[in-house]
Amino acid sequence: MGRPAGGGAGEAGTGAGGAAPAAWMREAIRLSREGCAAGKGGPFGAVVVETAGARIVGRGCNEVLASNDPTAHAEVVAIREASRALSRFHLAGCELFTSCEPCPMCLAAAYWARIDRIWYANTRADAAGIGFQDDFLYEEFAAPPARRRLPLVQVLREEALAAFEEWARSPGRRIY
């Protein structure tokens, strides 16, 4: 295990990649059990750790059942909480600890959030073993669009393009 990319100078031993990864992961696992026992969703937990401060800035468990939100996976919940806590839409300088290898949605969310590193415990095969078919999504995305189960149909491109053109001309636009 190397030092995390986001580790600040002079912070030796305090980053998420230092002595603490097992402790951060144990918190993610604790959340996975707690959320599941409370009936919030499946047995998945996650924490976002700010590397330089060696502190948890976001916690989450799967809340799909409790919130009727299919996107309320532990990692997404933790990323949202961390972004609120840090008042920024990117989480560079942070690492994600998740009790299970992320599904494609959560993996993409971590990319969008510019997380420095993802640590995981259970594998997607372990998840499949208890009935969570994350593997199915990885297979879908690897397949050509025409062969996926979810049809992807294009319509009204010209009209939608007008919004893009307006944005591209806007002097106040923010790239993120």
73 contacts Zn ion (rule: CB under 5 A):
yes
Q: Measured between alpha carbons, how far is residue 19 from residues 22, 51, 57, 130 in Å?
A: 8, 12, 18, 31
Our answer to whether residue 75 is catalytic in this structure is: yes
Single-letter residue type at 157: R
Residue 137 makes CB contacts below 8 A (sequence gap 6+) with 103, 104, 105
Residues in binding contact with Zn ion, number by CB under 5 A: 4
- The one catalytic residue in 75, 95, 101, 140 is 75
Q: Looking at 33-41, 59-67, 102-110, 155-163, which segment touches Zn ion (CB under 5 A)?
A: 102-110
**CB of 153 vs Zn ion, minimal distance in Å:** 25
Contact 19, 49 (CB under 8 A): no
Single-letter residue type at 170: S
40 contacts Zn ion (rule: CB under 5 A):
no
Of 46, 57, 78, 103, the residue at the interface with Zn ion (CB under 5 A) is: 103
**CB of 127 vs Zn ion, minimal distance in Å:** 10
124 contacts Zn ion (rule: CB under 5 A):
no
Rounded Cα gap, residues 106 and 119, in angstroms: 13
Residues with catalytic roles: 75
